[in-house]
């Protein structure tokens, strides 16, 4: 499974770029009636990647006083209970849903952007050599938290996983998720006859689902080749910064006005489409994640550079603060009171003031 090819197709359809579709190994996108899109098995439009496991969702033990059943995979994972089993199912569903394309509305736009952003950043971190190990670990936990939070998952699932080295594990049981998902797919593939009333796919299709799930998981863990945002004319420099965290950190450390100049040049170019807008939002959130996360007061330099063009300054500041809530989490972690940053909040629009100046 070549995840980069599939990711390119995801971007192509999500942002209506109109490029020629590229045949991927086992799956292809199909547009649905509500303007969303899902991955379906090639040449089979009645079973999607995300749907195959719907009927396998465990019963919710939280609604039963004394659950009298055992986890399906207890023979393989002796410390697993029925509560854990449901949480692991939720994680599997969340990972598989990463490549789904949802219809955007005012209520889900931020969450959709943030989940996509965090997945992409998790796939970048291992190659970010200019970050220290501690910085990489901090950002990995930060991105993974929001990856789950914006799916969204329930609170119990949100805090149930951690990283051991590069391995994602279920913290309570120390179950390695790559191992669990491998056993999970093997089990249902080998016991298909037992679940014929729930499963309507062939063993080789379950194997295809397993391969894609594993690629997605390995990207989250930073074990797979990092993903890249696909090219577009006029976005070469912006995409270089997005696709290479080290380059972003290098030019910022050498001369931060180089980054600000690239932002200025982007705003000077009147061309606009949804992909360009997404890339610009991604670049600004990279500034938040890789610069402000570690030194919040750097925002003063951004404002100083753009204050002579107040409309641009206002637009940049409000995208930083309202496209995502990463900066809100950063301020909370560092006990920063944004009201003390007078030169920043003077550029806040009504929405930013509503969120941050309650």
Contact status, residue 139 vs residue 124, Cβ threshold 8 Å: no
Q: Given this model, what pLDDT does residue 1 score? A: 59
pTM over 0.75: yes
The reply to whether 11 and 155 lie within a common domain is: yes
The reply to whether 105 and 189 lie within a common domain is: yes
Contact status, residue 240 vs residue 248, Cβ threshold 8 Å: no
Task: Count Cβ atoms below 10 Å from residue 324 Cβ, excluding itself.
Answer: 24
Mean pLDDT of 266-293: 95
- 164 strand-pairing partners: 167
Contact status, residue 91 vs residue 178, Cβ threshold 8 Å: no
The Cα-based distances of 283 to 31, 121, 140, 239, 345 in angstroms read 29, 11, 18, 8, 21
Does the pLDDT at position 98 exceed 80?
Answer: yes
Q: Given this model, what pLDDT does residue 35 score? A: 86
Task: Count Cβ atoms below 10 Å from residue 103 Cβ, excluding itself.
Answer: 11
Cis peptide before 204 (omega within 30 of 0): no
More confident residue, 163 or 269: 163
Q: What share of the chain is helix, strand, coil (3-state, %, to 5)?
A: 60, 5, 35
Residue 46 lies in a domain: yes
Q: Given this model, what pLDDT does residue 107 score? A: 92
* Least trusted range by pLDDT, from 4-13, 22-31, 269-278, 283-292: 22-31
Q: Round to whole Å and give the CA distance between 140 and 270.
A: 35
Residue 228 lies in a domain: no
Read off the DSSP letter of residue 125.
G
* Least trusted range by pLDDT, from 30-34, 41-45, 196-200: 41-45
The reply to whether 19 and 76 lie within a common domain is: yes
More confident residue, 242 or 271: 242
Residue 156 lies in a domain: yes
How many domains does one find in the chain? Answer: 2
Residue 230 lies in a domain: no
46: confidence class by pLDDT, cuts 50, 70, 90: confident
- Domain closes at, from 170, 194, 221: 221
pLDDT digits (tens, 9 = 90+) for 158-209: 999 999 999 999 999 999 999 999 999 999 999 999 998 999 899 999 999 9
Residue 226 lies in a domain: no
- Domain closes at, from 189, 221, 253: 221
Q: How far is CA 14 from the centre of its chain?
A: 14
Residue 154 neighbours by CB under 8 Å, 6+ apart: 90
44: confidence class by pLDDT, cuts 50, 70, 90: confident
pLDDT digits (tens, 9 = 90+) for 112-171: 999 999 999 999 999 999 999 999 999 999 999 999 999 999 999 999 999 999 999 999
Does the pLDDT at position 263 exceed 90?
Answer: yes
Contact status, residue 133 vs residue 143, Cβ threshold 8 Å: no
Mean pLDDT of 273-286: 97
The reply to whether 212 and 252 lie within a common domain is: no
Instruction: Give the torsion sign (CA, 337, 137, 245, 222).
Output: negative
Mean pLDDT of 95-99: 97
Structure tokens at 255: 């001369």
DSSP state string for 276-326: HHHHHHHHHHHHIIIIITT-GGGHHHHHHHHTTSHHHHHHHHHHHHHS-SH
The reply to whether 287 and 201 lie within a common domain is: no
Residue 342 neighbours by CB under 8 Å, 6+ apart: none
The reply to whether 150 and 296 lie within a common domain is: no
* Structural domain range at position 322: 236-356
Contact status, residue 113 vs residue 281, Cβ threshold 8 Å: yes
Q: Given this model, what pLDDT does residue 40 score? A: 93
Mean pLDDT of 47-63: 92
The reply to whether 84 and 108 lie within a common domain is: yes
Residue 229 lies in a domain: no
- Domain closes at, from 168, 194, 221: 221
Q: Given this model, what pLDDT does residue 50 score? A: 94
The reply to whether 214 and 250 lie within a common domain is: no
Q: What is the CA radius of gyration of the chain?
A: 22
Contact status, residue 276 vs residue 235, Cβ threshold 8 Å: yes
The reply to whether 203 and 351 lie within a common domain is: no
The reply to whether 268 and 187 lie within a common domain is: no
The reply to whether 187 and 312 lie within a common domain is: no
Task: Count Cβ atoms below 10 Å from residue 154 Cβ, excluding itself.
Answer: 14
The reply to whether 193 and 254 lie within a common domain is: no
- Average pLDDT of the residues of the chain: 95
Tracing tokens 């970050």 back to the chain, one arrives at: 131
What is the SS3 assignment for 43?
coil
């Amino acid at each position: 499974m070549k995840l980069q090819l599939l990711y390119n197709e995801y971007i192509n359809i999500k942002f209506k770029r109109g490029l020629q579709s590229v045949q991927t190994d086992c799956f292809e996108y199909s547009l649905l009636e509500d303007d969303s899109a899902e991955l379906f098995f090639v040449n089979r439009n009645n079973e999607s990647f995300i749907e195959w496991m719907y009927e396998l969702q465990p019963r919710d033990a939280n609604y039963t006083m004394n659950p009298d059943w055992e986890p399906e995979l207890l023979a393989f994972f002796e410390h697993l209970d029925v509560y854990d089993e449901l949480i692991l199912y939720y994680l599997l569903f969340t990972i598989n849903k990463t490549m789904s394309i949802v219809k955007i509305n005012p209520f889900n736009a931020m969450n959709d952007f943030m989940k996509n952003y965090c997945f992409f950043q998790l796939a970048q971190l291992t190659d970010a050599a200019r970050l220290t190990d501690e910085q990489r670990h901090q950002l990995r936990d930060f991105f993974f938290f929001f990856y789950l939070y914006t799916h969204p998952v329930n609170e119990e699932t949100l805090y149930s996983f951690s990283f051991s080295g590069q391995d994602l594990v279920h913290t309570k049981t120390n179950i390695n998720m790559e191992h669990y998902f491998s056993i999970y797919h093997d089990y249902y593939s080998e016991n298909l006859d037992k679940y014929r009333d729930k499963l309507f796919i062939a063993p080789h299709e379950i194997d295809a689902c397993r391969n894609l799930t594993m690629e997605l998981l390995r990207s989250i863990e930073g074990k797979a080749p990092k993903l890249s945002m696909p090219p577009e004319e006029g976005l070469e420099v912006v995409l270089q910064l997005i696709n290479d965290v080290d380059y972003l950190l290098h030019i910022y450390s050498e001369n931060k006005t180089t980054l600000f100049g690239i932002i200025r040049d982007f705003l000077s170019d009147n061309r606009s489409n949804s992909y360009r807008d997404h890339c610009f939002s991604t670049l600004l959130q990279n500034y938040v994640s890789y610069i402000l996360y570690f030194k919040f007061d750097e925002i003063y330099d951004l404002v100083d550079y753009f204050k002579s063009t107040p409309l641009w300054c206002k637009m940049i500041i409000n995208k930083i603060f309202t496209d995502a809530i990463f900066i809100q989490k950063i301020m909370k972690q560092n006990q920063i009171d944004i009201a003390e940053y007078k030169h920043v909040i003077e550029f806040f629009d009504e929405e930013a003031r509503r969120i941050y100046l309650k």
